[in-house]
Amino acid sequence: MAQSDFYKLLGVKRDASKDEIRTAYRKLARKYHPDVSKSPDAQTRFTEVQEAYDVLSDTKKRRLYDTGGLDASGFGGGRGQRGPTYTWSNVGGGQGVGVNFDSDDLSSMFESFFGSSGSTMGSAPRARAPRSRPRRRGRNVEQPLSISFLRAVEGGTEQLRITRGTSTETIEVKIPAGIEDGAKLRVASKGGAGAGNAPPGDLILVVSVGTHPLYQRDTTSPLNLNLTLPLTVEEALLGTRITLPRPRSNVELTIPPGTNGGSKLRVRGRGIETSKAKGDLIIQIQIVVPPTGHNEQVESAARVIGTATDDPRSGCEWS
Protein backbone atom coordinates (compact mmCIF):
# COMPACT_ATOMS: atom_id res chain seq x y z
CA MET A 1 0.00 0.00 0.00
CA ALA A 2 1.30 3.53 -0.82
CA GLN A 3 2.20 5.90 2.03
CA SER A 4 -1.09 7.30 3.39
CA ASP A 5 -2.28 9.55 6.18
CA PHE A 6 -4.01 7.07 8.48
CA TYR A 7 -5.77 9.85 10.38
CA LYS A 8 -7.18 11.23 7.15
CA LEU A 9 -8.24 7.75 6.04
CA LEU A 10 -10.30 7.32 9.21
CA GLY A 11 -11.49 10.95 9.19
CA VAL A 12 -10.26 11.75 12.71
CA LYS A 13 -7.97 14.38 14.19
CA ARG A 14 -4.38 13.52 15.13
CA ASP A 15 -5.22 13.84 18.83
CA ALA A 16 -8.32 11.60 18.54
CA SER A 17 -9.00 9.24 21.45
CA LYS A 18 -9.09 5.45 21.10
CA ASP A 19 -12.89 5.49 21.31
CA GLU A 20 -13.10 8.07 18.49
CA ILE A 21 -10.74 6.01 16.35
CA ARG A 22 -12.69 2.82 17.02
CA THR A 23 -16.05 4.50 16.20
CA ALA A 24 -14.70 5.95 12.95
CA TYR A 25 -13.21 2.59 11.97
CA ARG A 26 -16.40 0.63 12.55
CA LYS A 27 -18.44 3.11 10.56
CA LEU A 28 -16.07 2.91 7.57
CA ALA A 29 -15.65 -0.85 7.85
CA ARG A 30 -19.40 -1.35 7.60
CA LYS A 31 -19.51 1.04 4.67
CA TYR A 32 -16.72 -0.53 2.61
CA HIS A 33 -16.90 -4.21 3.54
CA PRO A 34 -16.99 -6.19 0.25
CA ASP A 35 -19.95 -8.25 1.42
CA VAL A 36 -21.99 -5.07 1.87
CA SER A 37 -20.69 -2.40 -0.51
CA LYS A 38 -21.31 -2.60 -4.26
CA SER A 39 -18.49 -0.12 -5.02
CA PRO A 40 -15.77 -1.59 -7.31
CA ASP A 41 -13.00 -0.29 -5.01
CA ALA A 42 -14.70 -1.50 -1.81
CA GLN A 43 -12.11 -4.20 -1.13
CA THR A 44 -9.20 -1.75 -1.49
CA ARG A 45 -10.85 0.88 0.70
CA PHE A 46 -11.74 -1.73 3.31
CA THR A 47 -8.10 -2.93 3.47
CA GLU A 48 -6.81 0.65 3.80
CA VAL A 49 -9.23 1.42 6.62
CA GLN A 50 -8.31 -1.79 8.42
CA GLU A 51 -4.55 -1.10 8.18
CA ALA A 52 -5.02 2.44 9.44
CA TYR A 53 -6.99 1.20 12.41
CA ASP A 54 -4.43 -1.59 13.00
CA VAL A 55 -1.77 1.06 13.62
CA LEU A 56 -3.73 3.83 15.33
CA SER A 57 -5.49 1.51 17.76
CA ASP A 58 -2.14 0.20 19.06
CA THR A 59 -0.43 2.67 21.40
CA LYS A 60 3.11 1.58 20.52
CA LYS A 61 2.54 1.48 16.74
CA ARG A 62 0.74 4.83 16.84
CA ARG A 63 3.67 6.47 18.68
CA LEU A 64 6.12 5.12 16.10
CA TYR A 65 3.85 6.22 13.25
CA ASP A 66 3.49 9.74 14.67
CA THR A 67 7.31 10.09 14.96
CA GLY A 68 7.91 8.73 11.45
CA GLY A 69 9.36 5.42 12.66
CA LEU A 70 6.62 3.29 11.15
CA ASP A 71 5.93 2.96 7.43
CA ALA A 72 2.51 2.75 5.81
CA SER A 73 2.40 -1.02 6.16
CA GLY A 74 2.54 -0.61 9.91
CA PHE A 75 5.79 -2.50 10.42
CA GLY A 76 8.76 -0.17 10.95
CA GLY A 77 10.30 -0.17 7.50
CA GLY A 78 9.25 -3.76 6.92
CA ARG A 79 11.46 -5.17 9.72
CA GLY A 80 8.71 -5.89 12.23
CA GLN A 81 6.59 -9.01 12.40
CA ARG A 82 2.98 -8.91 11.29
CA GLY A 83 0.24 -10.08 13.62
CA PRO A 84 -2.09 -13.04 12.93
CA THR A 85 -4.25 -12.72 9.79
CA TYR A 86 -7.91 -13.81 9.51
CA THR A 87 -9.52 -14.25 6.13
CA TRP A 88 -13.06 -12.92 5.71
CA SER A 89 -14.32 -14.21 2.38
CA ASN A 90 -16.85 -12.53 0.12
CA VAL A 91 -20.29 -14.16 0.18
CA GLY A 92 -20.38 -13.78 -3.58
CA GLY A 93 -17.35 -16.02 -4.01
CA GLY A 94 -14.76 -13.24 -4.46
CA GLN A 95 -11.22 -13.28 -3.10
CA GLY A 96 -10.91 -12.96 0.67
CA VAL A 97 -9.49 -9.90 2.37
CA GLY A 98 -6.47 -10.62 4.62
CA VAL A 99 -6.64 -8.18 7.54
CA ASN A 100 -5.80 -8.01 11.24
CA PHE A 101 -8.75 -8.02 13.70
CA ASP A 102 -8.86 -8.03 17.44
CA SER A 103 -11.49 -10.34 18.89
CA ASP A 104 -13.84 -7.55 20.03
CA ASP A 105 -13.85 -5.92 16.61
CA LEU A 106 -14.39 -9.24 14.85
CA SER A 107 -17.40 -10.06 17.03
CA SER A 108 -18.84 -6.57 16.62
CA MET A 109 -18.40 -6.65 12.83
CA PHE A 110 -20.22 -9.97 12.53
CA GLU A 111 -23.09 -8.64 14.61
CA SER A 112 -23.31 -5.53 12.41
CA PHE A 113 -23.22 -7.41 9.10
CA PHE A 114 -24.93 -10.71 9.83
CA GLY A 115 -26.75 -10.34 13.15
CA SER A 116 -24.73 -13.04 14.98
CA SER A 117 -21.55 -13.24 17.03
CA GLY A 118 -18.14 -13.80 15.44
CA SER A 119 -15.35 -16.17 16.53
CA THR A 120 -12.62 -15.76 19.10
CA MET A 121 -8.99 -15.05 18.18
CA GLY A 122 -7.35 -17.80 16.23
CA SER A 123 -10.51 -19.47 14.98
CA ALA A 124 -12.51 -18.93 11.81
CA PRO A 125 -15.77 -16.96 12.06
CA ARG A 126 -18.85 -19.14 12.35
CA ALA A 127 -21.17 -18.85 9.39
CA ARG A 128 -24.80 -18.27 10.17
CA ALA A 129 -27.07 -21.11 9.18
CA PRO A 130 -29.16 -20.23 6.12
CA ARG A 131 -32.74 -19.34 6.87
CA SER A 132 -35.37 -21.67 5.58
CA ARG A 133 -38.06 -20.06 3.48
CA PRO A 134 -41.33 -19.58 5.36
CA ARG A 135 -44.03 -22.09 4.58
CA ARG A 136 -46.71 -20.70 2.32
CA ARG A 137 -49.99 -20.63 4.19
CA GLY A 138 -53.22 -21.52 2.43
CA ARG A 139 -55.34 -18.72 1.00
CA ASN A 140 -58.35 -17.28 2.78
CA VAL A 141 -61.70 -18.27 1.26
CA GLU A 142 -64.75 -15.97 1.32
CA GLN A 143 -68.24 -17.49 1.40
CA PRO A 144 -71.76 -16.06 1.99
CA LEU A 145 -73.76 -17.04 5.08
CA SER A 146 -77.52 -16.36 5.19
CA ILE A 147 -79.19 -16.16 8.60
CA SER A 148 -82.67 -15.24 9.77
CA PHE A 149 -83.58 -11.90 11.31
CA LEU A 150 -84.25 -13.56 14.66
CA ARG A 151 -80.86 -15.30 14.63
CA ALA A 152 -79.17 -11.97 14.01
CA VAL A 153 -81.10 -10.41 16.90
CA GLU A 154 -80.72 -13.22 19.42
CA GLY A 155 -77.43 -14.77 18.37
CA GLY A 156 -76.73 -18.49 18.56
CA THR A 157 -75.08 -21.07 16.30
CA GLU A 158 -75.50 -22.12 12.69
CA GLN A 159 -74.52 -25.41 11.07
CA LEU A 160 -72.60 -24.94 7.83
CA ARG A 161 -71.35 -27.52 5.34
CA ILE A 162 -68.10 -26.60 3.63
CA THR A 163 -66.10 -28.33 0.92
CA ARG A 164 -62.30 -28.22 0.84
CA GLY A 165 -60.67 -30.08 -1.99
CA THR A 166 -62.36 -33.47 -2.18
CA SER A 167 -63.64 -33.52 1.41
CA THR A 168 -66.84 -32.09 2.89
CA GLU A 169 -67.41 -31.33 6.56
CA THR A 170 -70.00 -29.68 8.77
CA ILE A 171 -68.83 -26.90 11.04
CA GLU A 172 -70.62 -24.94 13.74
CA VAL A 173 -70.47 -21.16 13.42
CA LYS A 174 -71.14 -18.94 16.42
CA ILE A 175 -73.36 -15.95 15.59
CA PRO A 176 -73.01 -13.02 18.02
CA ALA A 177 -76.23 -11.26 19.06
CA GLY A 178 -76.80 -8.02 17.15
CA ILE A 179 -74.72 -8.91 14.11
CA GLU A 180 -75.49 -6.66 11.14
CA ASP A 181 -76.11 -7.40 7.49
CA GLY A 182 -72.81 -7.44 5.58
CA ALA A 183 -70.67 -8.23 8.63
CA LYS A 184 -67.86 -10.79 8.27
CA LEU A 185 -67.08 -13.76 10.51
CA ARG A 186 -63.67 -15.47 10.46
CA VAL A 187 -63.37 -19.23 11.00
CA ALA A 188 -59.71 -20.07 11.56
CA SER A 189 -57.97 -22.74 9.44
CA LYS A 190 -61.05 -23.65 7.38
CA GLY A 191 -59.95 -21.95 4.16
CA GLY A 192 -57.71 -23.15 1.33
CA ALA A 193 -55.11 -25.85 1.97
CA GLY A 194 -51.49 -24.77 2.44
CA ALA A 195 -48.50 -25.91 0.40
CA GLY A 196 -46.99 -29.13 1.75
CA ASN A 197 -47.51 -29.23 5.50
CA ALA A 198 -48.19 -25.50 5.75
CA PRO A 199 -51.34 -24.51 7.70
CA PRO A 200 -54.57 -23.80 5.79
CA GLY A 201 -56.03 -20.33 5.38
CA ASP A 202 -59.17 -19.01 7.07
CA LEU A 203 -62.80 -19.11 6.03
CA ILE A 204 -64.38 -15.64 5.81
CA LEU A 205 -68.18 -15.69 6.06
CA VAL A 206 -70.08 -12.67 4.71
CA VAL A 207 -73.36 -12.45 6.66
CA SER A 208 -76.68 -11.80 4.92
CA VAL A 209 -79.55 -11.09 7.36
CA GLY A 210 -83.13 -11.87 6.35
CA THR A 211 -86.18 -9.68 6.98
CA HIS A 212 -88.99 -9.90 9.56
CA PRO A 213 -92.73 -9.26 8.96
CA LEU A 214 -93.02 -6.98 12.02
CA TYR A 215 -89.61 -5.68 13.11
CA GLN A 216 -86.83 -3.70 11.43
CA ARG A 217 -83.37 -2.67 12.59
CA ASP A 218 -82.97 1.04 13.28
CA THR A 219 -80.63 2.56 10.68
CA THR A 220 -79.09 5.08 13.09
CA SER A 221 -78.94 2.90 16.23
CA PRO A 222 -78.44 -0.74 15.16
CA LEU A 223 -79.36 -2.12 18.59
CA ASN A 224 -82.81 -0.50 18.46
CA LEU A 225 -85.80 -2.34 16.96
CA ASN A 226 -88.59 -0.50 15.14
CA LEU A 227 -92.21 -1.67 15.03
CA THR A 228 -95.29 -0.11 13.40
CA LEU A 229 -98.35 -0.79 15.60
CA PRO A 230 -101.82 -0.47 13.99
CA LEU A 231 -104.65 0.65 16.33
CA THR A 232 -108.36 1.01 15.83
CA VAL A 233 -109.99 4.39 16.42
CA GLU A 234 -111.52 3.03 19.61
CA GLU A 235 -108.13 1.80 20.93
CA ALA A 236 -106.52 5.12 20.17
CA LEU A 237 -109.35 7.06 21.80
CA LEU A 238 -109.93 4.94 24.87
CA GLY A 239 -106.55 3.32 25.33
CA THR A 240 -105.82 -0.39 25.53
CA ARG A 241 -103.26 -3.03 26.49
CA ILE A 242 -101.51 -5.07 23.78
CA THR A 243 -99.06 -7.99 23.91
CA LEU A 244 -96.23 -7.58 21.39
CA PRO A 245 -94.48 -10.76 20.17
CA ARG A 246 -90.90 -9.54 20.75
CA PRO A 247 -88.17 -11.82 19.31
CA ARG A 248 -86.76 -12.86 22.70
CA SER A 249 -89.80 -12.46 24.97
CA ASN A 250 -93.23 -10.87 24.73
CA VAL A 251 -93.74 -7.23 25.71
CA GLU A 252 -96.88 -6.01 27.50
CA LEU A 253 -97.59 -2.53 26.12
CA THR A 254 -100.10 -0.05 27.52
CA ILE A 255 -101.59 2.40 25.03
CA PRO A 256 -102.72 5.55 26.85
CA PRO A 257 -106.13 7.08 25.94
CA GLY A 258 -106.08 9.73 23.24
CA THR A 259 -102.99 8.39 21.45
CA ASN A 260 -102.49 10.12 18.14
CA GLY A 261 -101.52 8.44 14.90
CA GLY A 262 -97.82 8.86 14.04
CA SER A 263 -96.75 9.21 17.67
CA LYS A 264 -93.91 7.04 18.97
CA LEU A 265 -93.60 5.03 22.14
CA ARG A 266 -90.21 3.88 23.48
CA VAL A 267 -89.74 0.76 25.59
CA ARG A 268 -86.25 1.03 27.01
CA GLY A 269 -83.96 -1.99 27.10
CA ARG A 270 -86.27 -4.18 25.04
CA GLY A 271 -84.45 -3.96 21.74
CA ILE A 272 -81.38 -6.04 20.80
CA GLU A 273 -79.32 -7.18 23.76
CA THR A 274 -75.58 -7.91 23.54
CA SER A 275 -72.98 -8.63 26.21
CA LYS A 276 -72.11 -4.92 26.30
CA ALA A 277 -75.33 -2.99 25.68
CA LYS A 278 -79.10 -3.07 25.25
CA GLY A 279 -81.13 -1.31 22.60
CA ASP A 280 -84.67 0.04 22.83
CA LEU A 281 -87.97 -0.93 21.20
CA ILE A 282 -89.38 2.00 19.21
CA ILE A 283 -93.12 1.74 18.42
CA GLN A 284 -94.83 4.01 15.89
CA ILE A 285 -98.62 4.27 16.15
CA GLN A 286 -100.76 3.87 13.04
CA ILE A 287 -104.52 4.49 13.42
CA VAL A 288 -106.65 2.43 11.08
CA VAL A 289 -109.84 4.27 10.02
CA PRO A 290 -112.78 1.95 9.25
CA PRO A 291 -114.37 2.17 5.78
CA THR A 292 -117.63 4.08 5.94
CA GLY A 293 -119.48 2.94 2.81
CA HIS A 294 -123.15 3.22 3.67
CA ASN A 295 -122.70 2.24 7.32
CA GLU A 296 -124.94 4.72 9.16
CA GLN A 297 -123.59 3.74 12.58
CA VAL A 298 -120.00 4.50 11.60
CA GLU A 299 -121.00 7.80 10.03
CA SER A 300 -123.05 8.75 13.07
CA ALA A 301 -120.20 7.86 15.45
CA ALA A 302 -117.80 9.91 13.35
CA ARG A 303 -120.07 12.96 13.58
CA VAL A 304 -120.30 12.59 17.33
CA ILE A 305 -116.52 12.35 17.58
CA GLY A 306 -116.19 15.39 15.33
CA THR A 307 -118.39 17.54 17.53
CA ALA A 308 -116.35 16.53 20.59
CA THR A 309 -113.03 17.33 18.95
CA ASP A 310 -111.49 20.78 18.74
CA ASP A 311 -110.63 22.02 15.30
CA PRO A 312 -107.01 20.87 14.73
CA ARG A 313 -106.58 23.67 12.16
CA SER A 314 -107.66 26.53 14.36
CA GLY A 315 -104.25 28.14 14.42
CA CYS A 316 -103.69 31.48 12.67
CA GLU A 317 -101.42 29.87 10.10
CA TRP A 318 -104.48 28.02 8.71
CA SER A 319 -106.56 31.19 8.35
From the number of C-beta atoms within 10 Å of its C-beta (0-12, 13-18, 19+), residue 107 rates as middle
* pLDDT in the model for residue 287: 94
**C-alpha distances in angstroms, 63 versus 68, 101, 201?**
9, 20, 67
Measure the CA–CA gap between 182 and 173, rounded to whole angstroms: 16
The separation between the first and the last C-alpha atoms of the chain, rounded to the nearest angstrom, is: 111
Q: Please, what sign has the CA dihedral across residues 188, 193, 195, 198?
A: positive
CA dihedral 291, 293, 297, 300 (to 10 degrees): 90
Identity at 318, one-letter amino acid code: W
Same domain membership, residue 280 and residue 301: yes
> What is the residue-level pLDDT of the chain in tens, covering all 319 positions?
445 788 988 899 999 999 999 999 988 888 888 777 778 888 888 888 888 888 888 988 898 888 876 555 544 544 333 433 333 333 333 444 444 444 455 455 545 554 544 444 444 445 565 566 666 888 899 999 999 999 999 999 999 999 877 889 999 999 999 999 999 999 998 888 877 788 888 999 999 999 999 999 998 999 999 999 999 999 999 999 999 987 778 889 999 999 999 999 999 999 999 989 999 999 999 999 887 666 788 888 888 888 888 887 787 677 6
Residue 222 — φ and ψ, nearest 5°? -60, -15
Residue finishing a domain among 171, 188, 209: 209
Are residues 232 and 195 part of one domain?
no
Question: Where a domain ends, among 209, 235, 250?
Answer: 209
Question: Does 130 map to a domain?
Answer: no
Q: Are residues 78 and 42 in the same domain?
A: yes
Q: Where residue 200 sits, what CATH number does that domain have?
A: 2.60.260.20
Q: What are the two backbone dihedrals, phi and then psi, of residue 72, each rounded to the nearest 5 degrees? A: -65, -20
CA distance 7 to 48: 11
Quick one: 107 and 10 in the same domain? yes
Is 110 in the same domain as 147? no
Using a CB cutoff of 8 Å and minimum separation of 24, what contacts does 214-218 make?
214/245, 215/149, 215/153, 215/247, 217/180, 217/272, 218/271, 218/279, 218/282
Q: What is residue 117's predicted lDDT score, i.e. its pLDDT?
A: 44
CA dihedral of residues 62, 63, 67, 68 (deg, nearest 10):
-40
Residue 63, phi-psi category: left (phi > 0), alpha (psi -120 to 50), beta (remainder): alpha
Q: What is the CATH number of the domain that holds 48?
A: 1.10.287.110
Q: Do 89 and 11 sit in the same domain of this protein?
A: yes
Asked which of 186, 209, 232 is the last residue of a domain, the reply is 209
Q: What share of residues in the chain are helix, strand, coil (percent, to 5)?
A: 25, 25, 50
Same domain, 189 and 242: no
* Domain assignment present for 94: yes
CA–CA distances in Å: residue 235 to residues 253, 266, 276, 300, 305: 13, 18, 37, 18, 14
Residues 228 and 196 in one domain: no
Same domain, 254 and 290: yes
- CA 232 to the chain's CA centroid: 55
Query: How many folded domains does the chain comprise?
Result: 3
Sign (positive or negative) of CA dihedral 190, 191, 195, 199: negative
In-domain check, residue 194: yes
- Asked whether residue 110 falls in the same domain as residue 46, the answer is yes
Buried b (16+ CB within 10 A) or exposed e, 86-97: bebeeeeeeeeb
Does 11 reside within a domain? yes
Q: Is residue 135 part of a domain?
A: no
Q: How far apart are CA 130 and CA 110, in angstroms?
A: 15
CA distances from 300 to 235, 237, 259, 279, 304 (A): 18, 16, 22, 44, 6
Quote the CA–CA distance of 180 and 136 in Å, as a whole number.
33
Judge whether 133 lies within some domain: no
Characterize the bridge pairing of strands 203-209 and 184-187.
antiparallel
Q: Same domain for 10 and 61? A: yes
Domain extent for 165? 141-209
Domain-located, residue 126: no
Q: What is the pLDDT of residue 120?
A: 43
Domain identity same for 225 and 196? no
- Nearest by Cα to 257 from 223, 231, 229: 231
Q: Is residue 22 part of a domain?
A: yes
| Strand 203-209, strand 141-147: pairing | parallel
